Chains A and B, each alone.
Chain A
Amino acid sequence: MTRNVYVFGIGGTGARIIRSLTMLLASGVQLTGTHKIIPIIIDVDAKNADTTRTLKALDAYKLIRERGYGNREDVKDGFFGVNLNTLSSVTSEISGAEKPDDSFQLQFENLETSFIRYIDPKEELAGDVTMDLLEALYDNTPPGHDNFSHTELNLRLDLGFKGNPNIGTVVFNNLATTKAFQYVLKSISENDRIFIISSIFGGTGSSGFPQLVRLLQEEERIRANPFGALTVMPYFNVTDDKKSAINSDRFNAKTEAALTYYAKYLKGKINAFYQLWDRPLKQYENKEGGAEQHNNAHLIELIGATAIIDFANKPDNALKSKDKTVYFDFGIQHEDQLIDIRHFYDTTKNTILYPLTLFTYAMKIYLEKIPEFKNEAFYKELNLNHQLTSDPFYQSLTAFFDKHYKTWLKEMMENERKFQPFNIDLADLNSLVRGRQIEVKKVLGIVTNGGITDAFLKERLGKLEDELKKKMPENEREKRFLKLLHEIAEECFKKLEKLPSEVFH
């Protein structure tokens, strides 16, 4: 029986891991028994750049899949095969619940104000003992002070909680009253799975995670559904900035406090608990949120996304009862500052890195080779001369490969620790996969096998398109093109023969 998997990404880290998940699903990572993946980003920081670009990647994916495969549910493999969709796509009519916008984001209400105005919108607490309590609990630096706008009571909530889970808890408590959340509760059926991603060292994720578990499990009907969670512990620092509300010196203390709280409070509520951390090597610029919070993609986020794949693919009998929460870590074969495919174990290579390799071949061929093949028959048959520049499907595909996937790879390549599985800036496709070169074979100085050359690509693209055209009608041209990209990537992989491997001692 197929099921939907609801993936809640809380805060900036949640959004970044969903961004990585989007890339994995686009590459064709397989999901078994899953009908739809419903990513739901929960972030009060409406302008957070990490969230914004994740939403753009999700929207591009959705458009490509809809144009490529329509609403067909039998398509489950190949690029963009997984049905990744919005909450509003789950069911057309749920009685008693207002359908939310066709968006991947769950919107809070009434957050365009400061924390104190959120608690006391009509200023009724002035002089009251409750206000004394609030001032005792939260930073109440007086007006006129340099740091006044950064103090806890005066933080603007639509800019995020800036590392203050004590504020986040109060705000998340009101999530249950929003129409969108009511729709979430009603749309989840008994067979569906729920996965929650959060960081433990910030403000939004650490406070939102336990609150979200509580709010979801208040709904009796879905209390027994399988719950999975990924908690990301510190994997980066931020620069010191006395004017900022965020201080990475407090990351570890906050992590410890949150873990202690989770150990007590979340006992018996989660079936599978994934935990990730890395020694912080990178110091990001200290940005409190908004459009400036634009953290580069990190290997940890890619590994975090594999946790969602793992949870979605677990057979029902592998998920024990919530009393016996199963904990998962992720390890690589060898400690290094620069990671590539060779550092991973075979299971990850086969399930994650093989599809990513195919997708990277496809990206290079789509962005760099196909535009040079204007005179080839397959190019004309697919009417690419016109379609590549004017059709929304191809525009979205170009944006996905160039602005989303390529950028995501480059960011991971430049981050610390570096993840460099591919030489994406080299024109030679024989050198694309780090650690495994496709050898050019020569006899008496004459090339007998040039590997992945333009001539090879033209020939294979022509023949593959000719075969696909016989199987697929003209009105499925976008699907045919996605299939063509997948098959040419497989042909390239045949030249590579296998992913690189190395025995580390």
Chain B
Amino acid sequence: MPVAVVPPRRDAVGTSAESDQIEVVLSHLDRLPTLPAVAAKLLSLTTSDKSCAQDVVAILETDPTLTATLMGMARRTDHGLRVEQLTMSRIVALLGFQRVRNAVLSVQIHNILGDSNDDRTAAQTRQDIWKHSLAVACVADMLTKHVRGADALGDAFVCGLLHDIGKTALDAAMPKSYLRIISRVLQRVCICDAEREVFGIDHLVAGKRLAVRWNLPQTVIECIRMHHQDHATLPSSLVNPDMVRLIQTADRIVRRQHVGFSGYRDTDNLASLLQHWSIDETVIDQIVEKLPERMADYDQLIGLDDEEGRSLYAQSVAKANVELGNINAQLFTSRQQLDRAQACMRAVGVLTNDVVRDATITDVCYASARATLELYAANDVFVFIMNEGLCTIYTASVSSKREDLAAHIAPAVGQEFNVLHKEFERLSHQGPPVSAQEPFVSLWRSTGYTGQSDAVCILPIYDNKTPIGGVLLQADGENSISWSSCATEWQTLSKSIGLAVAMVRSRIAVECNNDELLDLNRRLHVTQRDLVRSRSISMVSEMAAGAAHELNNPLSVISARSQMSLQRCNDPEQAEVWQTLIDQAKNAAEIVTDLMAFAKPGVPQATEISLATLLNTLAQHWETRLDLKPSQLCVSLDNPKSTVFADSNHLTQVLDALVENAVFATNPKTRQLKINSPSSASDETVRIVIEDNGVGMSSAVLEHAVDPFFSFREAGRGRGLGLSLAHRLVAHNGGELWIASSPQTGTTVTIELPARPPHRQ
């Protein structure tokens, strides 16, 4: 069959950069030599096509190298032969056409692609690739004897030999790049991915490309293209899908035996492939046993290596073992890392479990100590967190030696803080771990630690790179883990502790802010209320002062004129009218007086007054003025010697107003008024409590109780200045007045005033 050069064809499509790269690779591939005439001829012949055998012999005889090779092969088969007896026809007869053909093909293709003058690694890899292909070819060839209908499949050896031609081709075209792929494969990257990564195409595509160019049979092309495809999902368009499966089977067997280099390790589909062929493992065992022997032939033929097949096999097994050992070691390391990560997670778990919503810094210390104990399996752990603002050190220590992980939680304060803080500043710049210095160990000892101080090290705790505290660790136990082996885990735990501290601090700060805000709000509210009140009082004051003058004049005229008229009047009825006018004018004037008293109470002339004397005097006064029966008023003093420091006129006005209110609020039949002075918490103040069992006030009324002109009584019964005046006068005398009341239960007014002059405090 004439050798034809097939024009390059695009097998892969991608981005323009990728396609450029692929184009370069393909052009490299196209530059590879074409298949020699001998090989081409041999490939075109099938095993059954013996008529052409003579042609082949003729071709072989023209190639002295091939002739020599085949003679060597024949002699190894039959050692009794002499060289001069060997003709090419005889060799073909002796070895069988198929063996001759396979041998020639192997040699020819190896010569084209497997030639190497590179470094040792590259040469070795190339040999390994060939070894793998040869092994697959041999196994495939052997498998045909165990597979039903294998005769119809065609030449399994050729398909096996050429199935990885793509690798060889890529290697031959771009040897340096291919070395990179090999190194990637050794790092456990799939060879196809590595090839696509470097060349844009993999060996399947490259192989197919070369096969087409060499005009190889379709079956071979399919094997090249499809030998990595899942055997169950091969496209239906394939000419010879079973050959592909056969090659896949052989490939997996060889991979399992670690013969040569395939770039793959998994043998995943082997079981299902065997199932497909209905053959069992014993067959495989037989084939594998024969494999070294079969390969030896070809090895020598191609000159791959001089070692015997058995030793090659042993070497493969040894290699596989080494690899397994490596994997085991890696697994062990991973497990150790996982163990430590798990310990770290457990420790963090302990921490997060213990740091509850309303945790304090001390709680975090304790939780951190427990977490560190968990991480390092230490015997004793001591945690301290510094608070520069408050010059305080929060500490906690736990010990696994003592019963139930005894915890000692105490914030350490005072003079030693500065010493500790200075030392800490110094240590925190040294980097972990540092051996703990005396002040810290002393601090620890103060919580009951009794261990050695030289074995103690400090691991710092950071909050966002700022050292905020540390952990003191006594790591002398047999079970304890060394600090250095857990450096990463400690960083995680340290960060978690830092985070927990920051969280608690910000929560406390927020709470403080909240409290402050609440307090400010309350004070603002009080100030606002006072402002409104003082504003209304100042308005009332101005109005009262104006009204006093304006009202008093007409009142004076009314009163005086009425008096003059009364004097002249002889008619008793008329006289009564004048008298009424006089009285009403007097009442009106009193209102004005009250108003003015409220508006301008005058500077208090405070003196120390005996409360008992004052109350007794006033009680008599009230009994007569307010029609109060002695049984309705109960005056009691916890301390009969109580004094009050106030303006006596003011105080009298206050008590008058309060008692008057109480009388008005109560039913005369059930009226019960109590005035007492309970012993005060402070000697500096005295309290007077006026309690009635009257109608009481709702909260809405209570809210306005001290507002001027707010009267709860019926219209005309009061001027609404009593409580207001009392409140004002008490405040004026440096005291406070507050009211508790509920409807139908009664009202309790409490006055608190200074008990004595300020300078005697």
The yes or no verdict on A and B being binding partners is no
Q: Which chain B residues have a beta carbon within 8 Å of chain A's beta carbons?
A: none
Q: Which chain A residues have a beta carbon within 8 Å of chain B's beta carbons?
A: none
